Amino acid sequence: MSIDTINDADSVSESPSPEPSSTPLKRRLVGGGQSLAARSEPMLWLHGGALVICVVMIIGLLLLVLYQGATTFWPVAITQVRTLDGDTVLGEVTRNDHYHLGYGDIGTFSEPVREEAVALLNPIFQKKLSKIEDRDGVAEFINRQSESVERSLQKLTSGLPQVVEAPAIQRNALTDGISQLLSAKQSSIETQVASDIKTALQADDTGAALFALWQSWQDAEAAWSSTPNPDAMLDAIQSDGDVLSSIYGNRFLTLQSFDVETAAHRRLFRTGNYELTNEHFTWVSDFATEPDSESDPEWAVLFERLTWGRFYGVPKELQVDGEATETDPQAVWAKFLELHPVVRDRWHQRRDLEISDTGQINHELEQARLDLRSIELANGKDSPEWEEANKQFLAEKEKLDKAFAEIRSQIQSLDDENDRYQMIVTTSTGQEHAIPLADIVRTYPANQLGFSERLGIYFSRWWEFLSDDPREANSEGGVFPAIWGTVVMTLLMSVVVVPFGVLAALYLREYAKAGLMVSIVRIAINNLAGVPSIVFGVFGLGFFCYLIGASIDQLFFEAKLPSPTFGTGGIMWAALTLALLTLPVVIVATEEALAAVPRSMREGSLACGATKWQTIRRIVLPRAMPGIMTGMILAMARGAGEVAPLMLVGAVKLAPELPMDGHVPFVHLERSFMHLGFHIYDLGFQSQNSEAAKPMVFTTTLLLIALIALMNLLAIGLRSRLKKKFAYSQF
């Protein structure tokens, strides 16, 4: 190739290439000359952004629940502060908060606290009035506000009791008289008010002068408002012009003070001692506390009790049979640690006697009564059979009464022994209170704990939460009955919904021919998935409880009537109701799983001579099982979190008995039960102590999420094993 040829080629390569034709949208340049369409599809970015937002929201919710729930049981220090009121507050700081403090908030404050609040607000109010003076002049500004001031005065006047109860002619005379006086003397009144405000703003101590002026006007208005009748009120402002100007000035300053606010910090103390103070929590603002009064007392002790909630105080003495054995806090604490385990052991013995032994006697007595009632219904009360059965019943009752009296005697002796021991505790206000050692569940000197001791208390509270019964209206104690009820109800629901869902999906996918009836059934299934859950609850209450349950009672439990057995809410009806609610989920998932099995496998099985049912049972169902398990997982997740229908068909605030015990038939599906979802609702909206219940709401929510996740993980693991077992290739 010649040099000229190479040069010609270079010149061609260096020549500008023709511009590609493009639409106006593609000619919008982005960055280095690429169009938006070349970067990516806009909808792809939109979908990606929406997905990121959803993931962030879910993760944020889980992190919030995890943080709030995991920190509920961590023991914190006990703090003591003195307020300007002279009160001493002792308790745990549970929350820090900033709020807007305004003049409208200080009406209920005591005098020392009000002075501190006014000292915070007056500089802001002074600055506002100074700006008005510098910009417009107070007199001119008051003139522009005259209509608002007059409306405020008329509203004040019309709301006074003596005016409301007076005859209409007197009310009208007072209203007209005020309007006429304001029209006639408005200029002089505004000038007087402006002059007084300006004088206060020019004083050396502007805040004090302004507040003193405002206070004098408030006093004048209060005196005028206490005048017995409208005629006397009108005479007062007509005879003394200073009264009307004072009222006018107070109305003006009050209107201007509405938007005067400052940020104030406060802390929420959990103070307990409800039987003494009638409150569990107390807000304490920083400006309302004495300087340098905050401390962490060494012997401030927290008592968690069976009743009345927490108690905070300092141990004073430990009494045995009413006599003090120790009086020094350290000695009292050492003696308490020695005696408390023994007292609690006796309390547990008492509880076992009361629940197990007494419960067994009551069960036997009830069975004897039901046997007698059955004979009465079958043969009549005058029959020889009933007479003989009644004699046996009376003999059995006499024997059981003796056993019951013996158990009550044992319980009473344990109570008498435990009543000998009590601790005298001094509160922050100096009151002394006796706490029986048997009532103390847990106690510790919070300000003396090291990290390992705090960790021990933390895990002790968690164990109590997971294994014990609730107390104090569910705001303390454990949630074991709710855990049990949630798990058993979910498993019962799964046992019911999966077979019915699989059978329905098999018929629709494998047997039913396309037609009007099948279309109607599919539409009904899809609509069933959109029905509000409370509707299922109403259906379950009416159909299962009142119709089916009442019929079962008439047939099999006639002796118990009119007390219902199955004719009221119970765990079985709750499981059936939720099975109906989650049925569409299982049907749809199973149909998708059946459709995913290759047609070639069905045809190969049929070609080998298998019947259609053998093909479904041996080929289709095993390979669709992972998809069926997916439907079960979704149904469990949906059912375990439902609350609304359970409120109608069996879930209760507190279940006295678990649906499983040692009495035949051991599993009692007719009994009501506790549920974690309903427990959360009850804590959040029905608790009398909302602040104490709030952390328990997060903790129970965390537990419910963990429980659902655990059940789903077990199902996912089973599904994975099935996938490996039935791995296949197409023919």
> What is the number of other CB atoms lying within 10 angstroms of the CB of residue 120?
17
Task: Identify residue 658 by its one-letter amino acid code.
Answer: L
Q: Pick from 285, 269, 273: which is nearest to 110 by CA?
A: 285
CB within 8 A of 699, min separation 6: which ones? 68, 69, 72, 73, 465
Average pLDDT over residues 636-655: 90
More confident call, 140 vs 340: 340
Residues in a beta bridge with 80:
90, 295
Res 463: pLDDT: 95
Q: Is the dihedral of CA 277, 279, 281, 283 positive or negative?
A: negative
Res 433: pLDDT: 94
More confident call, 681 vs 28: 681
Is 581 in contact with 642 (CB distance < 8 Å)? Answer: yes
How many Å apart are CA 445 and CA 459, to the nearest integer?
A: 17
Res 35: pLDDT: 58
Element (H, E) at 687: none
How many Å apart are CA 726 and CA 626, to the nearest integer?
A: 9
Res 196: pLDDT: 86
Cis before 659 (ω within 30):
no
Average pLDDT over the chain, rounded to an integer:
87
pLDDT above 60 (res 5): no
Question: What share of the chain in percent tops pLDDT 90?
Answer: 47
Q: Which two tokens stand for residue 110?
A: 């005591």
Q: Which two tokens stand for residue 305?
A: 């009790």
Task: Identify residue 374 by its one-letter amino acid code.
Answer: S
pLDDT above 90 (res 172): no
Q: Where are the beta strands (DSSP E) in 437-588?
A: 440-445, 470-471, 476-477
pLDDT above 90 (res 273): yes
How many Å apart are CA 233 and CA 596, to the nearest integer?
A: 89
Q: Which two tokens stand for residue 52?
A: 């990121």
What secondary structure, in 3-state letters, does 349-404 show?
A: HHHHHHHHHHHHHHHHHHHHHHHHHHHHHHHCCCCHHHHHHHHHHHHHHHHHHHHH
Average pLDDT over residues 221-230: 87
**Residue whose structure tokens are 């090291």:** 450
pLDDT above 50 (res 150): yes
Task: Identify residue 504 by its one-letter amino acid code.
Answer: A
Q: Where are the beta strands (DSSP E) in 57-141?
A: 78-82, 88-102
How many Å apart are CA 523 and CA 584, to the nearest integer?
A: 11
User: Which of 158-162, 285-289, 519-523, 592-596 has the weakest average pLDDT?
Assistant: 158-162
Q: Which two tokens stand for residue 644?
A: 């609304």
Res 268: pLDDT: 95
237-256 residue pLDDT tens: 888 778 888 888 888 888 88
Question: Where are the chain's structural domains?
Answer: 110-261, 312-445, 477-725
pLDDT above 60 (res 34): no
Is 310 in contact with 303 (CB distance < 8 Å)? Answer: yes
Is 253 in contact with 270 (CB distance < 8 Å)? Answer: no
Angle subtended by helix axes 146-158 and 241-257, to nearest 10: 100
Q: Which two tokens stand for residue 553?
A: 């009672």
Q: What is the largest CA-CA distance in the chain?
A: 136
Res 25: pLDDT: 47
What size, in residues, is the chain? 731
Please report, in angstroms and rounded to a whole number, the separation of the first and last CA atoms in the chain: 61
Average pLDDT over residues 79-87: 93
How far from chain centre, in Å, is Cα 564? Answer: 32
432-489 residue pLDDT tens: 999 999 999 999 999 999 999 999 999 999 999 999 999 888 888 999 999 999 999 9
395-446 residue pLDDT tens: 999 999 999 999 999 999 999 999 999 999 999 999 999 999 999 999 999 9
CB within 8 A of 3, min separation 6: which ones? none
How many Å apart are CA 501 and CA 553, to the nearest integer?
A: 29
Res 727: pLDDT: 59
666-715 residue pLDDT tens: 888 999 999 999 999 999 888 888 888 889 999 999 999 999 899 888 88
121-147 residue pLDDT tens: 888 888 888 887 777 777 788 778 888
More confident call, 18 vs 486: 486
Average pLDDT over residues 55-79: 94
Alpha carbon dihedral 188, 193, 198, 203, in 10-degree steps, equals 130
pLDDT above 70 (res 38): no
537-546 residue pLDDT tens: 999 999 999 9
Q: Which two tokens stand for residue 84?
A: 């300007």
176-225 residue pLDDT tens: 888 888 888 888 888 888 888 888 888 878 878 888 888 899 888 888 88
pLDDT-based confidence at residue 492 (cuts at 50, 70, 90): very high
Q: Which two tokens stand for residue 114?
A: 């009000």
Homologous superfamily of domain range 477-725? MetI-like (1.10.3720.10)
Radius of gyration of the chain (CA): 39
Res 726: pLDDT: 64
Task: Identify residue 584 by its one-letter amino acid code.
Answer: P
Q: Which two tokens stand for residue 94?
A: 């549970």
Element (H, E) at 728: none
Res 1: pLDDT: 43
Question: What share of the chain in percent tops pLDDT 70?
Answer: 94
369-400 residue pLDDT tens: 999 999 988 888 888 889 999 999 999 999 99
Res 64: pLDDT: 94
Average pLDDT over residues 156-172: 85
Q: Pick from 445, 407, 438, 409: which is nearest to 422 by CA?
A: 438
| Coarse DSSP helix, strand, coil percentages of the chain, rounded to the nearest 5 percent | 65, 10, 20
Angle subtended by helix axes 111-135 and 241-257, to nearest 10: 90
How many Å apart are CA 288 and CA 84, to the nearest integer?
A: 6
Res 37: pLDDT: 54
Res 11: pLDDT: 47
